[in-house]
Amino acid sequence: MKTKNTKAFGTDSATAPLKEMTIQRREVTPTDVEIEILYCGVCHSDLHTARNDWGGTVYPVVPGHEIVGRITKVGDKVTKLKVGDIGAVGCLVDSCGHCESCEHDLEQFCLNGYTGTYGSPDKHLGGYTHGGYSERIIVDERFVLKVPSNLDLAAVAPLLCAGITTWSPLRHWNVTKGSKVAVVGLGGLGHMAIKLANGLGAEVTLFSRTPNKKEDAIKLGASHVVISTDEEQMKSVKGKFDLIIDTVPYVHDVNPYVATLNYSGTLVLVGYLGDLDPMLNTVPMIMGRKSVAGSVIGGIAETQELLDFCGKHNIVSDIEIINMQDINTAYERMLKSDVKYRFVIDMASLKN
């Protein structure tokens, strides 16, 4: 298959900084579109993957799954998009399309394994897929989203992962006007969770370790902020929440948050992957019919639903635009929670 040299930023090892590299992109097939990437958000998952926090990273890796760009080429059979349109791509670029999950628009649970935007086996070229820290990407049109024309394109990018990852549990657990929702951690996912829950009419509370984020949380749409290290404050919200979205990336004690669920309430983990430490105590779950659940991104139809909702309600991410060359500093700042509230790479900087 013919390929095209494409400038990208990635890394060859868990301990090396990201640097410029050349990758290959396929030519468009009849159902593909070619996207010139304008903006790409920086997700904490990019950092986890680059540094092999979860194990299994195959190098070289080119992260990036919050992609917005302009369509520059389309295959003969493409009907949904045309050259010149704006298109967006999130964490998924393919799935089998015929298993029970795919038939229910739940490509994130594809029983035959979805193809992730980066780090998945590449069905076309062999090797592994490469993400949005690059000049262009070729994607089957089924996995390309339409962007509402009233939204700022750079600030839309984080909706493709941070947005859908928090939207999907809000929708699945039927959050609506008057629901009591709490969000743990005010970072990229957390700030989107606050905006979206607020947009759905919920009363939102933020749990944070960081007292000086209070003012921001209120501006983003939270009604209350609880400092999670303060036992008195934690007690004051005992039994309160219908749904808690926990975005913390590292191992932490979830038992104090379970105590703040109302009966039949659910705590959804979307951040940390791995064994809980300390372990989960089942007593409050049994005595209050409470659930602890997990959730991963969302399907393509649900992502389009989110983008349309954001268009209607004028919701985008709060971002800091960076140049591609500043990605390593951005990772260090993200680890210190020093970002309000998502870095987005201006991909024009890769041309310099």
Asked if 32 contacts 139 with a C-beta cutoff of 8 angstroms, the reply is yes
The DSSP 8-state label assigned to residue 86 in this structure reads E
Give the one residue of 6, 115, 165, 179 binding ligand NAP; rule: CB under 6 A.
165
Q: Return d(Cα 71, Cα 69) in angstroms, integer.
A: 7
64 is a contact residue toward ligand NAP (CB under 6 A): no
First to last CA, the chain: 29
Query: Which among Zn ion, ligand NAP, none contacts residue 213 (Cβ within 5 to 8 A by kind)?
Result: ligand NAP
Instruction: Tell me whether residue 203 or residue 246 sits nearer to ligand NAP (CB atom).
Output: 246
208 is a contact residue toward ligand NAP (CB under 6 A): yes
Can you tell me whether residue 287 is helix, strand or coil?
A: helix
* β partners of residue 209: none
* φ, ψ for residue 76, nearest 5 deg: -55, -30
Give the one residue of 61, 88, 137, 161 binding ligand NAP; rule: CB under 6 A.
161
By CB under 6 A, the residues from 212 to 251 that bind ligand NAP are 213, 247-250
Give the one residue of 11, 45, 95, 317 binding ligand NAP; rule: CB under 6 A.
45
195 is a contact residue toward ligand NAP (CB under 6 A): no
Give the one residue of 7, 51, 172, 209 binding ligand NAP; rule: CB under 6 A.
209
296 is a contact residue toward ligand NAP (CB under 6 A): yes
Q: Quick one: angle between helices 188-199 and 162-172, nearest 10?
A: 40
161 is a contact residue toward Zn ion (CB under 5 A): yes
Task: State both tokens at 67.
Answer: 């992609």
Q: Quick one: angle between helices 162-172 and 300-313, nearest 10?
A: 100
Query: Contact residues for ligand NAP (CB under 6 A)?
Result: 43-45, 48, 161-162, 165, 185-190, 208-210, 213, 247-250, 252, 270-271, 295-297, 334, 337
